[in-house]
Structure 1
Amino acid sequence: MRTEPHPDLIITGARVRLAADRWAEAVAVRDGRVAALGPHDEVRALAGPRTEHVHAPGGLVLPGFQDAHVHTPFAGRNLLRIWLNDLPDRHAYLDAVADYARTHPDEEWITGGGWAMEHFPGGTPRKEDLDAICPDRPVFLFNRDVHGAWVNSKALELAGITKDTPDPADGRIERDPATGEPTGTLHEGAAYTVNERVVPLPGQDEWQAAILAGQAHLHALGITGWQDAWVTPDTQLAYQALAADGRLTGRVVGALWWERHRGLEQIDDLAARRESGRTVNSPRSHLGSGFFPTSVKIMTDGVLENHTGALLEPYCDGCGGVSDNHGLTYVDQDTLTAALVQLDALGFQVHQHAIGDRAVRNALDAVAAARAANGPGDRRHHLAHLQLVQPEDVKRFAELDVVANLQTYWAQTEPQMDELTIPFLGPERAAMQYPFADLHAAGARLAMGSDWAVTTADPLEQIEVAVRRIDPENRGNVPFLPAQCLSLDTAVDAFTAGSAYVNHDDQAGSLRVGARADLVLLDRDLFEPGFLPADATVELTVASGEVVYRLQ
């Protein structure tokens, strides 16, 4: 074992996970890379006078977590404005909005988000509640899953939405059944149109601040890299500026947003944006870190809770009957197939949102067409969410070399599932949700992502749900379809090596000498019998050899 030059950092005392059933006692970091892995005494002997030595008996060192599906700029912006995600009910939401409006009297619009549908009858909040606390300024609040918005009367007025306004093809305006008046909830495209065309856009300074706020939150949870699943031209510029001056300390793949109201002509624009990103150098570029706009995100359907997720058979009506609603398909199949073929030929990875079983099948069919047209390649296409997958489609992930990008925290019993999902799927389809174990058994490669700020960004909470199918905050709950639990090894690998694979990050995802030094130190060993992952705490996060978070 080499002794010169001395490491910048050594960690001893904690078990160091190299792979399933492979361990080291200590790790050394030098010049941004893993310099040594081995017995405690040998690694400790490498230390010099300037080496930082962290001794963590009983702890665990893992590769840095990578989040394969996250919305860092939008989550960070809410953190800096109105953050409703952690509040318990409607009354707390209104208190937070009122407080923000009172303390920010000069802001033209009151914006933020994170409200949960379960706290409102039918999942749809009303404008009157917001009117009572903010009658003179528009309020626009995305819900937690960013598939709907809660607005007040002033926002509806500025958007020109009245009872005579038709629903857009890709969304719905919630209306009073007696009068037809908009009630204050906008679904899908109705919300996105107002957000994009009426709500003032943030400037570059605000986007950069939002990304930095989000990055700090992710680093505190042990996350050293991520794929941003909704990169706009403005957020791309913000990422590139932060990468160029060294403030972007995580390694980020940008999934460039496919605009559903445009067609194949936008592919030239996406290719130009990718090329512009290639010219940006990061101080950590030599370590394989920086910002890489090499993926394209296509939203193929909505979500099941508001009945916009695309289904092969129609939704139930919640009362034992069947409706005529199959959900929404945001990109028609011919366009989706042509897009996959062309993007794949250009070397793009495609990241598809697919919630309902029809969306999953359509997405897989499009990848199959790209494979047939272009032959095999290393694109690492992936499908995110996968709430409802027909058994005959499970095996196609491995056959087509499509990565299953899992948001495991959603696979638990909670009010939204019980009240807004299961009654409208019926028992047979409800029992098919989130088939993680089946996908793994069929040979699918697994990655994991949070979809933060839809739900928690904490990998430890997500891993616990993956292995138990129970909310970590309500451990007495009945497991949700427990036959689909993953092993702890599989879940940890998915949130490290699996997501690194999706991100084409071959310098991370596992701890080995010479790899980029992305790692996380936990205060407890997840692999000790009887220990639950969400009880662990991140003590140290290292990205590209730099300590980016330290527990105080």
Structure 2
Amino acid sequence: MTADLVLRGGRVFNGFSVHPTGTAVAVECGRITAVGPEAAVRAASGPRTGIVDLRGRLVTPGLIDAHAHTFMGGIEALACDVGHCGGADEVQAAVSRYARSTDSRDSPWITGAGWYKGHYDGGFPDASVLDTAVPHRPVYLINRDHHSAWVNTAALRLAGIDDRTPDPADGRIGRRPDGSASGILHEGAMSLVARLLPPITREAVEAGILHGQAHLHALGVTGWQEAIIGEYAGYPDAAPAYRSLAASGRLTGRASGALWVPRGLTLGDLPGLVDSFGARRDLNAAAGFPTSSAKIMVDGVPENRTAAMLEPYESAGCTCGGRTGTDRGPTYLPPEVLDAAAEALEAARFDLHLHAIGDRAVRTALDAVGRAAVALHPTPGGSRSWEPRHTMAHVQLVHPDDVPRFGHLGVTVNAQALWACSDEQMRSLTVPLIGAERARWQYPFASMLAGGAPLAMGSDWPVSDADPWQAIHVAVHRAHPDHGDTGPLVPAEALDLTTALSAYTAGSARVTRSPAGVLRPGAPADLAVLSADPFGPDGPALHRLRADLTIVGGRVVFERAAHRA
């Protein structure tokens, strides 16, 4: 048998390290059949073998994004996308253009996303900015981290939100000094307006997935985990669309999903939720869309003081109209409910996908995993018929006492490494709220790795850039050129390039139970050819690397123009 494709003349990263002798890879019937020196792989070539001349570039396993919101990113990119805007004036112009391009008779609403808290004093703009752009049509714009929404006065009126409207249990209404609603809705308060939005159709979700898939493939990403599968913040369950695309062959990436555990879960709800999750897992798996993870949002984010802290937020940094000196932020499930959910879901063979950002959220989540392990496996060191692969995403603030617990419990650190730098939001919003001591506890990747924690990486796109090489650059340097000469953020927590790239390939494959992520004979031929070899002596800055060619299952899904020249 001869190979369908041979890539030769470069270097090979196999998911764990640079191959000591590998300069070529052979692919046949969608799988890797040989990796090694070109002379050894050449025997697999035949007259019909396609040849890719690597010209000294690096070929890696296709990168796997272990935490993304791909369909949301696609939908938002096709709506009123303000992610490129640098502040209020640019948002006004973008919203005005979008309003002129749409017919209010089709839908009065203007929806979109992407505004950045770092562009506004105190992190949050006012409804009056949107009123200037569109005074009569309601506007609903989700911010980049998806934990807050910005609406205009017309939307507030439609929702009946005024100075007398109470905060929901799992959110907060932003208020001006006089107590009136400012137009910012945090966490669960977003649903006060989101429930009024026109339903997002199956066709729109499919279009969003396909747009997001193309975007990820162009970055060398061949697989991803949808971090929320279920109804959330006005978005529908994307699983039917994924099943449809998989059945039609239009889903070219290896996508999986984490089933959303509602924030209002009670102990009484738990048996029904676990049963429904099992049925949904079976249905999705049969269609080619694995959903063997359960997503639990333990807390929020520090900039709106919904990240759960062991000690109160700094009062000097409170700019959102909340309590000062006593506010430690919420956990969205009571500890007894989180403990019971962790045990029941692991017993049903679900991997936990935990969102935890504040140090109290991290500790609470680790406690739940530990208690589930004791309850389900009371004999230390005993064999298990099924090994869970629990992961904790974001892990921004980790108390030093909890750093070694990730390794002890086998919890994978699902790092969004692009955030581990001193950008404008970090300097002007986050650090004033958490204080200097806790700022030094942020994103302790190297320390958790040294304690035995497995590592995976994801982007959280569209919360931040989906390009893996922007995140890898920050993981290695703890700084990014886009944010000026601000110095590295806690430089002792930097990773080396091999470790960071392994986390984005083999590490993410392991935690998402993907068969890909490694480059060895027998593995799926999911490959990315980079624009250069970053391990070479003359390799470019990491953030300048690009994908020239992306292959999934032996099939080219992205090719940069003239990459073979």
- Of 40-49 and 379-388, deviating more is 40-49
Aligned to 1:102: 100
CA distance in 1, matches of 2:481, 2:25: 30
Q: Which residue of 1 aligns with 2:193?
A: 194
Q: Are 1:274 and 2:276 counterparts?
A: no
Mapped to 1, the partners of 2:359 and 2:139 lie a distance apart of 35
Kept after mapping to 2: 8 A contact 1:10/1:29: yes
Q: How many Å apart are 1:474 and its aligned residue?
A: 4.2
**Distance (whole Å) between structure 2 residues aligned to residue 77 and residue 164 of structure 1:** 34
Task: Give 1:136 shift.
Answer: 1.9
Are 2:138 and 1:138 aligned? yes
Change (3 A) 1:193 1:363: farther
For these two proteins, the number of residue pairs brought into alignment is 536
What displacement does 1:20 show?
Answer: 2.0
- Please give the per-residue CA displacement for 1:453-505, whole angstroms capped at 9, x wherever unaligned: 11101011110100001114346331111011001111011000110000112
The residue number in structure 1 matching 2:412 is 403
Q: Find the counterpart in structure 2 of residue 519 from structure 1.
A: 527
Distance 1:240-1:319 versus aligned 2 partners, 3 A rule: closer
| Structure 2 residue runs without a partner (length 5+) | 231-235, 378-383
CA distance in 1, matches of 2:237, 2:367: 32
Quote the Cα distance in structure 1 between the aligned partners of 2:168 and 2:259: 24
How far apart are 1:184 and its partner, in Å? 0.8
Does structure 2 retain, via aligned residues, the 8 Å contact 1:301–1:356? yes
Q: CA RMSD in A?
A: 1.6
1:11 paired residue among 7, 12, 17: 7
Find 2:27's aligned residue among 21, 25, 29. 29
Q: Give the TM-score normalised by the residue count of structure 1.
A: 0.94
**Superposed, which structure 2 residues align to 1:148-163 within 5 Å?**
148-163=148-163
Structure 1 counterpart of 2:225, one-letter code: Q
- Contact 2:362-2:398 within 8 A present in 1 as well: yes
Q: What's 1:171 paired with? A: 171
Shift of 1:129: 1.4
CA contact (8 A) 2:359 2:397 kept: yes
The amino acid of 1:266's aligned partner reads L
Aligned equivalents of 1:499, 1:395: Cα separation in 2: 20
Q: Residue 43 of structure 1: CA displacement?
A: 2.5
Instruction: Report deviation, 1:159.
Output: 1.4
Write the mapping of 1:468-507 to structure 2, written as runs, cut at 5 A: 468-474=477-483, 476-505=485-514, 507=515
* Residue number among 389, 392, 397 corresponding to 2:401 in the alignment: 392
* Deviating more after overlay: 158-167 vs 483-492: 158-167
Once the two structures are superposed, residues 264-299 of structure 1 have per-residue CA deviations (whole angstroms, 9 ceiling, x without a partner) of 14222222211211321xxxxxxxxx4101111010
What is aligned with 2:471? Answer: 462
Answer whether contact 2:423 2:483 (CA < 8 A) is retained.
no
Partner in structure 2 of residue 287 of structure 1: none
Deviation for aligned residue 1:258:
0.8
Instruction: Give the 3 Å change call, closer, same or farther, for CA 428–166 of structure 1 in structure 2.
Output: same
Tell me if the contact between 2:159 and 2:192 (Cα under 8 Å) persists in the aligned partners. no
- Provide the residue aligned with 1:547 in structure 2: 556
Displacement, 1:87? 2.5
Shift of 1:188: 0.8
Q: Which residue of 2 aligns with 1:245?
A: 248
1:110-138 per-residue CA deviation (whole Å, 9 max, x = no partner) reads: 11101001112211111111112212211
Determine helix, strand or coil for the equivalent of 1:305: helix
Does the 8 Å CA contact 1:464/1:472 hold for their aligned counterparts?
Answer: no
**1:225 aligned counterpart, secondary structure:** strand
Matched to 1:172, the amino acid is R
Q: TM-score, normalised to structure 2's length?
A: 0.92
User: Where do 1:76-87 residues align within 5 Å?
Assistant: 76-87=74-85
Which whole-Å deviations, capped at 9, do the CAs of 1:7-38 have from their partners, x for residues lacking one? Answer: 22111112112232424111111111002112
Moved more, 258-267 or 66-75: 258-267
Residues in 2 aligned to 1:480 and 1:427: alpha-carbon distance in whole angstroms: 12
Counterpart code for 1:366: A
Deviations 1:225-256, CA, capped at 9 Å, x for gaps:
11110112630111111111111111112101
Misfit runs of 4+, over 6 Å: 319-322
Matched position secondary structure for 2:387 = coil
Once the two structures are TM-superposed, the CA of residue 360 in structure 1 deviates from its matched residue by: 0.3
Change (3 A) 1:436 1:519: same
The CA distance in 2 between the partners of 1:391 and 1:356, in whole Å, is 13
Amino acid in the other structure paired with 2:412? V
Query: How do 1:359-374 residues align onto structure 2 when only pairs under 5 Å count?
Result: 359-374=361-376
Alignment equivalent of 1:20, drawn from 17, 21, 26: 17
Once the two structures are TM-superposed, the CA of residue 323 in structure 1 deviates from its matched residue by 1.3
Task: Name the SS for the 1:36 alignment partner.
Answer: strand
CA distance in structure 2 between the aligned counterparts of 1:21 and 1:139, rounded to whole angstroms = 50
1:387-407 Cα shifts (integer Å, max 9, x gaps): 000111111111111111111
Contact 2:11 2:19 (C-alpha < 8 Å) held by counterparts: no
Partner of 1:286: none
1:319 to partner: Cα distance: 6.3
Give the conservation status (yes or no) of the 8 Å contact 2:92–2:132.
no
Deviations 1:482-531 (CA, angstroms, capped at 9, x unpaired): 011001111011000110000112x2221101110111000200112363
